[in-house]
Structure 1
């Protein structure tokens, strides 16, 4: 069954502390279409995003990261 939900992993180049990961998670979650944003506690360079591609694109997700001041790239979807 196709639910229409996609997921993507974004690698953030900078080392983020817990406060920064919390803030960036909130930046993602404030956007329509983003369902979840979860950093891996063992590797805070990776965030897994679940989103509705009918509402927001993976390119938009990368732009959120860029506007937050971080560098990184999509590594899977």
Structure 2
């Protein structure tokens, strides 16, 4: 299986608890292997996924569907 790592930059400053909820939403996609935010930079969400069954665009859509402004950053 191929895997892809990506970083989503969330524009808003959100409380740690809200970021954990966002991680859970992203991980709900069966094709997402992991999703975690960085303590030293809470605006960044690192996501690992299987590109055979989802895409970076779908992951970004899931974040934006929660009402956040976000964009993809390259690794």
The TM-score normalised by the length of structure 2 is 0.95
Query: Aligned pair count?
Result: 75
Q: Distance in 2 between matches of 1:50 and 1:23?
A: 17
Gaps of 5+ in 1: none
- Name the counterpart of 2:61: 63
2:38 equivalent to 1:40: yes
1:31 maps to which of 29, 36, 44? 29
Q: Distance in 2 between matches of 1:7 and 1:50?
A: 4
1:7 maps to which of 2, 5, 8? 5
The TM-score normalised by the length of structure 1 is 0.93
Gaps of 5+ in 2: none
Give the 4+ runs in structure 1 shifted more than 2 A: none
